[in-house]
Amino acid sequence: MPQRKSGHVTLLDVARACGFSVSTVSIVLSEAPLSQNVAEKTRQQIRAMARQLGYHPDASARSLRRRHSQTIGVLAYDLSDPFCIPIVRGIQAGLQPTSYLPLLMDAQTERRLFDSYLKMILERRAEGVIVIASWVFEEANLLADVEKNHVPIVIVGRDLTGRGISSVLVDNEAGGALAMRHLHQLGHRKIAVIRGPEELFDSEPRWAGARRAAEEVGIRLDPRLVLQLPSMVDPTSGFQGGLSCVRQMLASGLKFTAIAAFDDLTALGAVRGLTEAGLRVPEDCSVLGFDDVLPAEVATPGITTIRQPLREMGLLAARWTLDALEQREKSAKRPAPRLEMSPPELVVRTSSGKPKRRSAPS
């Protein structure tokens, strides 16, 4: 029983155990073209022995020699945000049919971790990098390092084409407009808005879209009913934010029949706030979210929301990365960055409805 000190079974072990050279064993087990020349009997013998010993090729040695790792680094800003998961799923789906494997990292909304994981991805010689980053990051310096090593990179959730990086994100403005138009069609005229926190990239375009749509349909948005979430400390803090915004609105005594919230968790916070005050959703006040994450779907009432095609976005990011790898084979020069603004979609659930005739909470 050939027990290596390293604890791992190597080609040499298998070779010795069945009396062939390391080369032959390698050729057979890696199914190299040359393996057609190897006698069927030999192949069977080698494979049997490899299985018996529990041989697994050493990925380090292999990628060192082959000069590629078959790996795509996937760096998510925070996996505890339900927003990230479908994107990751899309990426996985896009990589599945190829021989590339995702190397998944979770930065936990910590700049320090983000940096160190990105470094690690580079050290592991990932051949491409996909960054999921709706959160605030000043990626400038480290992403530069990625480029310096000629590793193609795609970012999901932010537009960084200005810095030469291909970007996939939802059309936030269209989404904001979609929300506003839906509320208008239901008959709402006094609409409160909870904007995203200042430092979040998505906040501005969503608000711009909502404002534009409101103007188009002739709704006047009362500035006193347009609140802004405070800075977020983690992905779920939108809930608390939504809750306190609604308390504030109710305390103000102003009338409103609907709330367009920044995202689904904010919307859930709003529902909580309204319920606390004895108001019913949607009878007394409609609530709209954004993103379409799991909690919005399984809450009761189900949150009407603006769905981001997250899975598709992840899929696209994977495809672009693979494209870039192919391109790199052919031409040396770096292709121009690409931009996708995916169309959002209105998902009507039960948190929105027509306003009561005798309107207004409070």
Partner DNA sequence: TTCTACTATTCAAACGTTTGAATGTCAACA
Partner DNA sequence: TGTTGACATTCAAACGTTTGAATAGTAGAA
Between 39 and 68, how does the x/- string for binding to DNA read (CB under 7 A)?
x--x------------x-xx--xx-xxxx-
Q: Quick one: which of 3, 6, 99, 331 contacts DNA (CB under 7 A)?
A: 6
Cα distance between residue 80 and residue 76, in whole Å: 10
DSSP 151: -
Q: Which residues of 309-326 are buried (b: 16+ CB within 10 A; e: fewer)?
A: bbbbbbbbbbbbbbbbbe
38 binds DNA (CB under 7 A): yes
Measured from the CB atom, the residue of 31 and 234 that comes closer to DNA is 31
Measured from the CB atom, the residue of 119 and 354 that comes closer to a copy of itself is 119
H-only helix segments in the chain: 11-18, 22-29, 40-53, 59-66, 84-95, 111-123, 140-148, 172-186, 203-217, 237-252, 264-276, 294-298, 310-330
Q: Quick one: which of 16, 295, 319, 345 contacts a copy of itself (CB under 8 A)?
A: 295
Q: Residue 24: which of a copy of itself, DNA, none does it interact with, CB under 5 to 8 A by kind?
A: DNA
- Say if residues 151 and 122 touch (Cβ distance below 8 Å): yes
Helix (H, G, I), strand (E, B) or coil at 39: coil
Q: Least distance from C-beta 223 to a copy of itself, angstroms?
A: 28
Cα distance between residue 24 and residue 46, in whole Å: 9
- Site residues for a copy of itself, 102-121, by CB under 8 A, read 103-106, 108, 119-120
179 binds DNA (CB under 7 A): no
Cα distance between residue 54 and residue 51, in whole Å: 5
278 binds a copy of itself (CB under 8 A): no
Measured from the CB atom, the residue of 231 and 300 that comes closer to a copy of itself is 300
Q: How far is CA 313 from the centre of its chain?
A: 8
Size of the site for DNA (CB under 7 A): 30
Q: How far is CA 70 from CA 131, 267, 311, 322, in A?
A: 18, 41, 22, 11
- Say if residues 2 and 13 touch (Cβ distance below 8 Å): yes
69 binds DNA (CB under 7 A): no
Of 295, 253, 260, 300, which Cα lies nearest the Cα of 277?
A: 253
Binding segment (CB under 7 A) for DNA, from list 22-30, 157-165, 197-205, 237-245 = 22-30
Cβ neighbours, 10 Å, residue 183:
27
Cα distance between residue 288 and residue 119, in whole Å: 39
Cα distance between residue 209 and residue 141, in whole Å: 32
Binding segment (CB under 8 A) for a copy of itself, from list 20-28, 197-205, 214-222, 290-298 = 290-298
330 binds a copy of itself (CB under 8 A): no
163 binds a copy of itself (CB under 8 A): no
Cα distance between residue 47 and residue 217, in whole Å: 71
- Say if residues 119 and 107 touch (Cβ distance below 8 Å): no
Q: Least distance from C-beta 127 to a copy of itself, angstroms?
A: 9
Cα distance between residue 241 and residue 247, in whole Å: 10
- Site residues for a copy of itself, 53-92, by CB under 8 A, read 54, 56-64, 67, 69, 79-80, 82, 85-86, 88-89, 92
- Show the tokens assigned to 102: 């995702």
Measured from the CB atom, the residue of 38 and 93 that comes closer to DNA is 38
119 binds DNA (CB under 7 A): no
Q: Quick one: which of 39, 140, 233, 298 contacts a copy of itself (CB under 8 A)?
A: 298
Binding segment (CB under 8 A) for a copy of itself, from list 14-22, 195-203, 222-230, 295-303 = 295-303
Contact residues for a copy of itself (CB under 8 A)?
Answer: 6-9, 54, 56-64, 67, 69, 79-80, 82, 85-86, 88-89, 92, 101, 103-106, 108, 119-120, 122-125, 145, 148-151, 236, 239, 265, 268-269, 271-272, 275, 294-295, 297-302
Contact residues for DNA (CB under 7 A)?
Answer: 4, 6, 8, 10-12, 20-24, 26-27, 29-30, 32, 34, 37-39, 42, 55, 57-58, 61-62, 64-67
